[in-house]
């Protein structure tokens, strides 16, 4: 601006410059000062103004054509290297400014003039070197209302990562509450930071901005590092992923108001977790909200230093939330901690120790007596101790049902709501009867991957439990009344619990019927072949059912589940969905427009018989997981349902031509069947005569049981000799008085095995053939099976009983024998050489079944 009377008016014509040239020069200068870039505008609801987005525009200077009512400005990812004086002078209403990821190397002294209303400044990804030349002392002076400042950059650009923070520059931000700032390897917060009397949050650890991570540069945390912050009101400090060479015992002493200490992924070169506890000991007799030290690493060669912690150091701190997950803790030392005068025990509300290496044996047993003294504890998580691995199969003991005369009492803290002990042990063994005291507030228990077995027990005291996870334990033995103890369950996870198919088919409905409030049920990965049609009929609150990774080919009734949102049938054995199931799913979708169905992982049949199913996939209102599933077409090639649908006309033509071909073949089949019937009639005159005699009442009766020397002949191989001659003989012959013919006891040694088999079949009322892999490999297998079949006559159709090892793959060449035996006389069991789990009662009942009553 010119002072009046000091400068003469320019004489344009005298200087030889025309008016037109002056106008051109003015326009060029104006264009040079401001880059007129079209930025996106939108309404800023948070600050009641206009939000401007000028990001990714390639600009090198702050535009000066922005509206005055701009309250949010995004200048990220541009080419600005200098913030000039008065660049923001006209943006007096600006509240939020983000200039991150510009190669800014210099701030002029008046760069932020006009930003007296600015609250938040994001200044990440810059190239300032924190010198006075790049950051003049008074550059932040206009920002008197600023509350949040984030200035993070790539600190590897500094030699040895060493630089000093200009404390006098930052000290002008007297209303600052949140500071996220770079640190060097030996950074010290000097006295200028003491002016930040409103500062509450300090972040110097690793942080992420716009998807870019900025590392923690701090290498030493000494007694002097935080000294300049002694007048601040810092309650929160974040030290994530710092590689600390030195950690002094009193390094936190100047943060007298600290309540939240966050340290994730930090490592300590000299020392261990106990050194962090020592640093926190300055807060004894004070109250803290959160102490979170997770994924902590130590380079110490001393295992005791690196992997053990002493509670004595911190027991006088009143902390609400403690998280020490993934910190390689092996041993927790309670020595010297008075249980009746321990503020830590009285104050803590949640404890997380997941993913360490703690074993129960490392904890003093006497401390379980004082568990009630944790009077405010609500959450305990000690899951996934890496002493064990949930990737390995949990082994369980199978001694049978274990009985104790009284339930084992378990005293819980009075306010406990959640306990997670998943994977705490791989070999827990049988469950017992438990009686929980103070369990009325318990809402969640996760005891998955714990190696538990034998669920034929009772649990009392958890009537208000809402979430229960027993996944990947062994529930092959379970009482049908087991879930009666949890009537208010909302989530039940039973993935991979090895349910017995026969038990579920017979008792599944009763097992789950008490769970009237259940919303989420996970039965995935159990190898289930069949579910009772009405198994879910009483679970009217169900919203999610997970039946993935089973062997199902049928769907239980869903019509009573009005709230069902999702059922997962992926990775089962469906080849199509019958009309009954399609109608049921459509009705479920009518009741709930958000109903989803997952069928992924099933291989369907894209053949003519599946035409209605393929049409249903296109027209159904059910929300499918893509609707494009693998299938086998009529040529035997793998395809996808949507590929078949795109070739629908050719598919229909094939099916129509196939129909008439089938008609022709059907007529020919009638002729063939007629001829075969005549041939069978001629060849089986006597059998037909016997049937006709029975029809007119002249029955021919079979031999009575007392006419045989033995009640049953047991056919077995040497691999199961011990079980047959000991457990099976004791259960069937000794306990149930059924006389058995056993090869190793009743046949004379040295004789012909074939003759012995024929004689034993002739002298025995029933025949029990135990099919194992070893039997099928034996020389007399085919001979034995043929003679067993010959023992089945029209008068003795139930004489042969077959016991099949469930681990055996049944070859197709013995189908002739299985088809000749009624399903009732076929038993599938887990046959082991030492301690077989077998349904002896069922076998005894089948043996004693009288032919005359059939």
**DSSP secondary structure letter of residue 265:** S
Q: How far apart are CA 207 and CA 264, in angstroms?
A: 11
Looking at residue 366, its pLDDT comes to 55
319: helix, strand or coil? strand
Question: Distance between alpha carbon 301 and the CA centroid of its chain, in Å?
Answer: 35
What is the spatial distance between Cα 455 and Cα 402, in angstroms, rounded to a whole number? 10
Low-confidence ranges of the chain (pLDDT < 70): 1-37, 301-306, 360-370, 386-406, 658-664, 681-690, 693-694, 697-702, 794, 832-836, 851-854
pTM attached to this predicted model: 0.69
CATH 3.40.50.10140 residue window(s) in the chain: 705-853
End-to-end CA distance of the chain: 119
Q: What is the pLDDT of residues 304-345, one digit of tens each?
A: 666 788 899 999 999 999 999 999 888 888 888 888 888 999
Which residue, among 80, 133, 136, 87, has the nearest Cα to 104 in the 3D structure?
80
Helix axes 685-695, 648-683, angle to 10 degrees: 90
Instruction: Please give the pLDDT value at position 9.
Output: 39
Q: How far apart are CA 15 and CA 29, in angstroms?
A: 20
CATH code that applies to domain 705-853: 3.40.50.10140
- DSSP line for 790-828: HT--SS-TT-EEEEEETTSPPPGGGHHHHHHS-GGGEEE
Q: Which residues of 723-744 are buried (b: 16+ CB within 10 A; e: fewer)?
A: bbbeebbebbbeebebebbbbe
Order of all β-strands in the sheet with 297-298:
243-244, 267-268, 297-298
Three-point CA angle 753, 756, 762, nearest 5°: 145
Q: Which residues of 137-167 are buried (b: 16+ CB within 10 A; e: fewer)?
A: eebbebbeebbbbbbbbebeebeebebebbb
What DSSP string runs through 429-442?
EE---EEEES-TT-
Q: How far apart are CA 455 and CA 474, in angstroms?
A: 8
Give how far Cα 49 sits from Cα of 52, 178, 203, 571, Å.
10, 24, 30, 53
Phi, psi of 184 (to 5 degrees): -95, 180
User: Could you report the per-residue pLDDT of 14-35, keeping only the tens digit for each?
Assistant: 344 454 554 444 434 444 444 4
Q: Give start-end residues of each CATH 3.80.10.10 domain in the chain.
A: 13-146, 518-642
- The candidate with the shortest Cα–Cα distance to 239, out of 276, 278, 285, 197, is 276
Classify domain 518-642 by CATH number. 3.80.10.10
Q: Please give the Cα distance from 77 to 80 (Å, whole number).
A: 9
Best CATH choice for the domain 13-146 from the list 1.20.59.10, 3.80.10.10, 3.40.190.290, 3.30.40.10: 3.80.10.10
Instruction: Name the packing angle between helices 753-763 and 781-790 (round to 10°).
Output: 20
Q: So what's the pLDDT on residue 341?
A: 87
Residue 664: CA count within 13 A, CB half-sphere: 5
CB atoms under 10 Å from CB of 674, counted, come to: 10
Q: Please state, as a whole number, how many other Cβ atoms lie within 10 Å of the Cβ of residue 372.
A: 16
Per-residue confidence (pLDDT) for residue 721, from 0 to 100: 86
565/593 Cα distance (integer angstroms): 8
- In angstroms, the CA 705 to CA 765 distance is 6
Burial class of residue 232 in the structure, from the number of CB atoms within 10 Å of its CB (0-12 exposed, 13-18 middle, 19+ buried): buried
Contact at 8 Å (CB) between 133 and 161?
no
């Amino acid at each position: 601006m010119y002072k009046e009377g000091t400068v003469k008016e320019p004489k344009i014509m005298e200087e030889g410059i025309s008016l037109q040239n002056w106008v051109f020069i003015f326009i060029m200068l104006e264009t040079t000062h401001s880059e007129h870039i079209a930025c996106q505008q939108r309404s800023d609801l948070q600050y009641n103004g206009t939000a401007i987005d000028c990001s990714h525009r390639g600009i090198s200077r702050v535009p000066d054509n922005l509206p005055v009512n701009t309250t949010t400005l995004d200048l990220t990812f541009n080419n600005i290297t200098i913030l000039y004086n008065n660049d923001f002078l006209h943006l007096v209403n600006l509240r939020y400014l983000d200039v991150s990821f510009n190669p800014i190397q210099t701030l002029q002294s008046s760069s932020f003039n006009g930003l007296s209303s600015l609250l938040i400044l994001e200044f990440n990804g810059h190239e300032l070197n924190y010198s006075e030349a790049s950051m003049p002392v008074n550059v932040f002076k206009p920002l008197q209302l600023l509350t949040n400042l984030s200035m993070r950059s790539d600190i590897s650009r500094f030699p040895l990562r060493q630089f000093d923070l200009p404390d006098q520059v930052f000290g002008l931000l007297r209303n600052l509450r949140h500071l996220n700032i770079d640190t060097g390897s030996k950074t010290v917060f000097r006295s200028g930071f003491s002016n930040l009397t409103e500062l509450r949050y300090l972040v110097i650890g690793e942080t992420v901005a716009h998807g870019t991570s900025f590392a923690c540069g701090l290498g030493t945390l000494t007694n002097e590092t935080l000294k300049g912050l002694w007048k601040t009101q810092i309650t929160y400090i974040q030290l994530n992923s710092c590689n600390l060479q030195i950690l002094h015992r009193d390094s936190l002493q100047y943060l007298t108001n600290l309540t939240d200490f966050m340290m994730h992924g930090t490592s300590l070169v000299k020392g261990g977790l106990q050194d962090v506890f020592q640093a926190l000991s300055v807060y004894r007799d004070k109250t803290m909200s959160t102490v979170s030290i997770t994924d902590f690493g130590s380079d110490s060669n001393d295992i005791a230093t690196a992997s053990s912690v002493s509670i004595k150091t911190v027991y006088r701190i009143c902390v609400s939330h403690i998280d020490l997950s993934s910190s390689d803790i092996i041993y927790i030392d309670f020595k010297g901690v008075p249980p009746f005068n321990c503020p830590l025990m009285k104050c803590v509300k949640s404890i997380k120790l997941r993913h360490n290496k703690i074993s129960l044996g490392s904890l003093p047993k006497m401390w379980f007596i004082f568990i009630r003294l944790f009077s405010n504890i609500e959450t305990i998580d000690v899951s996934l101790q890496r002493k064990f691995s949930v990737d390995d199969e949990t082994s369980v003991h199978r001694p049978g049902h274990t009985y104790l005369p009284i339930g084992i009492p378990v005293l819980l803290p009075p306010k406990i709501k959640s306990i997670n002990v998943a994977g705490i042990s791989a070999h827990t063994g049988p469950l017992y009867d438990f009686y929980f005291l103070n369990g009325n507030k318990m809402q969640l228990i996760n005891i998955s991957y714990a190696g538990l077995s034998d669920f034929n027990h009772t649990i009392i005291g958890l009537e208000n439990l809402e979430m229960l996870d027993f996944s990947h334990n062994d529930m092959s033995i379970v009482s049908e009344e087991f879930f009666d103890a949890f009537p208010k369950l909302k989530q039940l996870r039973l993935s991979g619990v090895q349910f017995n198919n026969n038990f579920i088919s017979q008792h599944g409905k009763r097992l789950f019927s008490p769970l009237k409030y259940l919303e989420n049920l996970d039965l995935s990965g159990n190898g289930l072949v069949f579910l009772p049609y009405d198994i879910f009929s009483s679970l009217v609150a169900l919203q999610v059912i997970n039946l993935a990774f089973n062997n199902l080919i049928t769907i239980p009734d869903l019509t009573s589940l009005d709230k069902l949102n999702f059922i997962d049938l992926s990775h089962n054995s469906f080849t199509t969905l019958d009309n009954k199931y399609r109608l049921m799913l459509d009705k479920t979708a009518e009741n709930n427009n958000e109903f989803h169905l997952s069928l992924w992982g099933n291989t369907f049949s894209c053949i003519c018989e599946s035409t209605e199913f393929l049409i249903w996939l296109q027209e159904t209102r059910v929300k499918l997981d893509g609707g494009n599933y693998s299938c086998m077409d009529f040529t035997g090639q793998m395809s996808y349902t949507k590929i078949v649908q795109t070739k629908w006309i050719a598919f229909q033509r094939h099916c129509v031509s196939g129909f008439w071909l089938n008609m022709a073949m059907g007529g020919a089949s009638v002729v063939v069947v007629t001829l075969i019937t005549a041939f069978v009639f001629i060849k089986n005159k006597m059998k037909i005569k016997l049937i006709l005699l029975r029809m007119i009442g002249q029955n021919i009766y079979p031999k009575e049981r007392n006419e045989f020397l033995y009640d049953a002949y047991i056919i077995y191989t040497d691999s199961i000799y011990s079980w047959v001659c000991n457990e099976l003989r004791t259960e069937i012959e000794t306990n149930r008085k059924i006389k058995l013919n056993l090869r190793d006891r009743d046949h004379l040694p040295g004789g012909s095995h074939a003759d012995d088999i024929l004689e034993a079949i002739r002298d025995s009322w029933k025949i029990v053939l135990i099919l194992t892999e070893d039997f099928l490999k034996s020389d007399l297998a085919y001979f034995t099976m043929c003679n067993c079949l010959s023992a089945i006559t029209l008068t003795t159709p139930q004489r042969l009983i077959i016991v099949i090892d469930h681990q055996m793959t049944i070859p197709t060449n013995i189908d002739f024998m299985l088809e000749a035996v009624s399903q009732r006389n076929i038993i599938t069991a887990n046959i082991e050489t030492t301690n077989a789990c077998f349904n002896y009662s069922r076998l005894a009942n089948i043996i004693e079944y009288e032919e005359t009553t059939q």
